[in-house]
Amino acid sequence: MNRCPKCRTKYNPTYTASCAECGALLVDLAQPTDSPADRTIGRPVKRARRGVLELAAPFAGWIVLGLFALSGVVWALLTDAGRDESGTIVDQGLVSVFEVRVGDCVDLSDDDIGTEEVAEFVGVPCGQPHGMEIFGIVTHPGNTSVFPGRETLEEFADESCVGLYQPYVGVSFDVEPLIGVTYFTPTRSSWAEGDRGINCALIAFDESDLVGSMKGQGQIHARMLSVGCYDLPEDRDRFLGFHPRSCDESHTVEVYSVVRERSSMQAKYDEAALLEFGDERCEDDFYRYLGSSRGDPNLTWSYFYPSSESWEDGDRKFFCFLTRVDEAPFSGSLENSGGVGADA
């Protein structure tokens, strides 16, 4: 479907010569009939994540949000999106599914909410709330006019889009707790007209809006942490993981030990015993990691430990991490450093 350039009413360029709403002539402006018209919205790529982790003091509690359903936003603005010289969207407006670019932040228009096919997005500046971010555009290798079927296209899109996830977001799809994937594939009619493109889009698992570009902003879920350096996310209300950082860069969190409690699979959950175990092991490892028997009053440590739910799944891991008391960043690993120093 296209839109009338005068009143923005949708019309089918295959057989519509003039706009039914305002009477504008559409023949010379219509998309050629041999061009693809729209794309099919793929199912979100979902991950099951059973159980949660508990977080020992001093931080707040820990939850894992459920899976999401893709939703749109109602928009009244129907002009074309404006871009700056670099191609970044700076003014809200329409963007064809065939003209969208990697890095574009978009929503579904009000007309497309709840539909299975879409011809255009509503592009918005990434600094504003939006439902999706285009992070990849791939081409299906099919070279015949025979439509391969939606299931085949979805399988190809699953593999292709997830493969592009880590290079764009900065962490593996399997360890990012907040950002999921959906995609847009050719319809049967657009395939017959030569359309082989697939748009890969990032979305939030909890149905919330994204704010800002997600490029390089991936988080490591706490159950997947390893020894290394990280940052806390700016939005503490959605604190589900850490941003991985090189220890040579500025960072606020350093995971210094990952230990396993040796209870059997049949053992009952005993939170008091787990806290006693975590306190003892993480404190010992804290001093050992710093290479100091006195520690550093500028630093504090805490840990994640199994919740009752994750315990039932066989989770026995503790993740010990340190931060500065004032939450200020530091650079360079603190391993064998003795601490940041009293005057740091």
Q: What is the DSSP string of 122-148?
A: EEE-TTS-BSEEEEEEEE----SSS--
pTM of the shown model: 0.69
* Contact between 126 and 212 (Cβ < 8 Å): yes
Q: pLDDT value at position 47?
A: 43
Q: pLDDT value at position 34?
A: 36
* Contact between 125 and 89 (Cβ < 8 Å): yes
Q: Letter for the amino acid at 46?
A: K
The phi, psi pair for 78, rounded to 5°, reads -130, 20
- Neighbouring residues of 79: CB distance < 8 A, sequence distance ≥ 6: 8, 93, 94
Nearest Cα to 27, choosing from 35, 38, 18? 18
Residue ranges, the chain, pLDDT below 50: 13-18, 25-36, 46-52, 57-77, 342-344
Q: Rounded CA gap, 217 and 133, in Å?
A: 13
Q: pLDDT value at position 20?
A: 62
Which is it for strands 39-41 and 179-186: parallel, antiparallel or unpaired? Answer: antiparallel
Q: pLDDT value at position 51?
A: 38
Judge if the upstream peptide bond of residue 58 is cis by omega within 30 degrees of 0: yes
Q: pLDDT value at position 28?
A: 31
Q: pLDDT value at position 56?
A: 60
Q: Letter for the amino acid at 151?
A: E
Q: pLDDT value at position 60?
A: 26
Helix (H, G, I), strand (E, B) or coil at 325: coil
What are the sequence ranges of the domains in the chain?
Answer: 1-31, 38-49+66-204, 220-331
Tally of residues, the chain: 344
Nearest Cα to 133, choosing from 144, 145, 123? 123
Structure tokens at 80: 């074309």
Q: pLDDT value at position 238?
A: 62
Q: pLDDT value at position 16?
A: 40
Nearest Cα to 302, choosing from 54, 52, 55? 55
Q: pLDDT value at position 85?
A: 82
Q: Which residues pair with 228 in a beta bridge?
A: 255
Q: Rounded CA gap, 226 and 257, in Å?
A: 8
Q: Rounded CA gap, 299 and 258, in Å?
A: 19
Q: pLDDT value at position 140?
A: 93
Q: pLDDT value at position 207?
A: 79
Instruction: Write down the H helix ranges in 96-249.
Output: 150-169, 188-192
Helix (H, G, I), strand (E, B) or coil at 309: helix
Strands (E), 44-131: 53-55, 82-83, 89-91, 93-96, 105-107, 117-118, 120-124
